[in-house]
Amino acid sequence: MSLVRPEDWIPHGVADLEPRAWEALRQRERSVLVTAGAGAGKTEFLAQKATYLLQTGLCRAPKRILAISFKRDAARNLADRVAKRCPPEQARRFNSYTFDAFAKGLVDRFRAAIPDPYRPAAGYRIVMPRRQDYEDFLDAQNFRGINVKQLERAIARARLPVVNSGSELQRAVAEYWRVQYNDYDHVQLSFLMLNRLVLLLLRENPSILKALHFTYPVLFLDEFQDTTFAQFQLLRSAFDGSEAIFTAVGDDKQRIMMWADAMPDAFAQFEQQFGAQRISLISNWRSHEDLVRIQHVIASRIDPTVEEPEARADRLVDGDVAAIWEFASADEEANCLAQWIEREVKTGNAEPHEVAILVRMRADEVECQLSPACEARGLRLRNVARNVGDIAIQDLLGEDLTKMLLSLLRLGAATRSPENWNSALQDLQFLEAVDPADEAGLQHLQLRLQGFVREIRRTLRRLDPLPNSAGEAAQAALDFIGIQVLRRAFPSYQRQPDFDRVWNGLVLLLRECLERAGTWSDALDEFEGLGQIALMTIHKSKGLEFHTMIFYGLDNQTWWSLTPDRMEELNSFFVAFTRAKQRAFFTLCIDRGQPLVWIENLLAPAGVRRVRFLGE
């Protein structure tokens, strides 16, 4: 593989980088903290920098790049972008993990090196404790002066070994570890516990630390503003004292996870501990200049020193691009919103799935409030957080099982679908662990898939697209994969309850979709949320973008905490506003509460007005 000289390297898939992005890309002497507002392309920047380092040989085999994100989506997205630009032997050296996957990987690889009594049995299980589980523990162990938040924070900060003495909180943490290790063959570890185990592992094993330092001279950190104390500690314990160069990207104006233990000063800590140079990007590729101007008013309120971004997107709509819509009643609000969206769709301004309705909280209640009015106009609202059975729709859609079964069913519903054929073939190749170089093996898979497609087409023709057919259709696809094969390939489906949770949700949602769809193809579209208006909380919308963003409920009851001195709430408002590519609207209903006068005063000079919304 021939390498590109650094001075000859050019970006891939984008026209060019802004000058500051070039500076941050070429900085190899020290760590950089790339701060940038919404839509600046922070993730894309990381993908370009990875491509640069790999293609120029500045990161040369066997050295690797370690990229760490919070969400699986983000980690996968980053890996995909690099894989698209680099040949496989280079892309393989770009390791994109979530914090938790990275921690678990270390525990699994070096389990034997974890000192007693913390070394977990090989068959340990991952648990995701919910509030109730912590409460039950505190109840059972009679820790009465401790609440769930305190316990969780204490576990996140505890250094192993935990001494079972001293404060009640410390005793609770020690007791918690003991209880989780009670049945040694079925040790139950949460991700928080895995994090603490990694710290212990690295402290006790300098050789592992050395190996890490050797393998990963380059580190990327995505969404750095949301780093928790535990995660930051893990990074420090793993890479303090190494030569590793970090590239962290983030936006502290979008820091909205402090209530979930994110550090209040992650950027300052990073600059200090890792001697990082701060570089701010100024382009906004998402929103047009009229929106960017308004965004900057909010941004300046959050951080008076922030630079005004340069809008790099075109304005494609006429009329107001931002406003606060006032309604006389909640019913009028629902009807007018549905009517407004219906008109937008009819006039071709925006597709339903390009419109998002965002809420502060309680998306389920808002769904009940808005859904009937939407349905009455033939619009569908998808509340991504809604549970089907025991799993949220958005989680269900992210599951490997769902993705595989969906492409198989798609093959049965469509006459020709090269896209789904390829993804089904890839899934099959992974499931059966067939080597990409094994021509005969691949040939065999193709034949098997061909046979299946014939069969599933027959099945779907025989089964009417009605709710009662959901189970049988899904089962047919699952049988093709084979449940044993699936479980071998995906450890997360080995436990029956874990598999059932996904399976039941899948069948339930498919059944629901078949209630309103006329064909299998429509039902699968409905399943994926095609042509539906997305409804979600601001937190879930982070990182996403929509043609038109409508925030439901800009009143002092929904936003009880949006006061001039509560910074994190203003950040939330900023995140909501900056999801919009073309237009951002906010609804206010006197039924529900009073206007937020200080917010209106802030936005008024930027031309955002409160208007009494009238339907036609």
Interface with DNA by CB under 7 A: which residues? Answer: 70-73, 98, 100-101, 104-105, 126, 128, 131, 147-149, 190-192, 256-257, 259-261, 360-363, 385, 395, 491-492, 498, 537, 539-540, 556-557, 560-561, 572, 593
Residue 360 C-beta: closest distance to DNA, Å: 7
Residue 172 C-beta: closest distance to DNA, Å: 15
Q: What is the DSSP string of 207-223?
A: HHHHHHHHH-SEEEESS
Residue 95's φ and ψ, nearest 5 degrees, are: -105, 105
Give the pair of three-digit tokens for residue 219.
């580190």
**Sign of the C-alpha dihedral computed for residues 35, 38, 43 and 49 taken in this order:** negative
Comparing CA positions, the residue from 21, 212, 237 lying closest to residue 110 is 212
Give the pair of three-digit tokens for residue 585.
């609207």
Residue 337 C-beta: closest distance to DNA, Å: 19
Q: How far apart are CA 429 and CA 149, in angstroms?
A: 44
Residue 25 C-beta: closest distance to DNA, Å: 27
- Indicate the angle between helix axes 439-462 and 418-431, nearest 10 degrees: 120
Question: Of 47 and 146, which has the nearer Cβ to DNA?
Answer: 146
Question: Of 303 and 400, which has the nearer Cβ to DNA?
Answer: 400
Question: Of 175 and 223, which has the nearer Cβ to DNA?
Answer: 223
Question: Of 288 and 579, which has the nearer Cβ to DNA?
Answer: 579
Measure the N-to-C terminal CA separation of the chain; round to a whole number of Å: 65
**DSSP type of residue 262:** B
Question: Of 460 and 575, which has the nearer Cβ to DNA?
Answer: 575
Phi/psi zone of residue 142: left (φ > 0), alpha (ψ -120 to 50 degrees), beta?
left
CB 294 within 8 A of CB 322: yes
Residue 377 C-beta: closest distance to DNA, Å: 26
**DSSP type of residue 357:** E
| Burial of 124 (C-beta count, 10 Å sphere; 0-12/13-18/19+) | buried
Residue 568 C-beta: closest distance to DNA, Å: 8
Question: Of 575 and 608, which has the nearer Cβ to DNA?
Answer: 575
Segments in 182-246 forming alpha helices (H): 191-204, 206-215, 229-239
Q: CA–CA distance from 305 to each of 248, 252, 256, 272, 296 (Å)?
A: 20, 12, 20, 20, 11
> Which amino acid is residue 541, in one-letter code?
S
Residue 462 C-beta: closest distance to DNA, Å: 36
Rounded to the nearest 5 degrees, what angle is found at the Cα of 235, between the Cα atoms of 232 and 241?
125
Residue 505 C-beta: closest distance to DNA, Å: 14
CB 552 within 8 A of CB 359: yes
Residue 54 C-beta: closest distance to DNA, Å: 23
Residue 192 C-beta: closest distance to DNA, Å: 6
Cβ-based neighbour number of residue 61 at 10 Å: 12
Q: How far apart are CA 46 and CA 248, in angstroms?
A: 9
For β-strands 322-327 and 355-359, DSSP reports them as: unpaired
Residue 463 C-beta: closest distance to DNA, Å: 32
Question: Of 131 and 178, which has the nearer Cβ to DNA?
Answer: 131
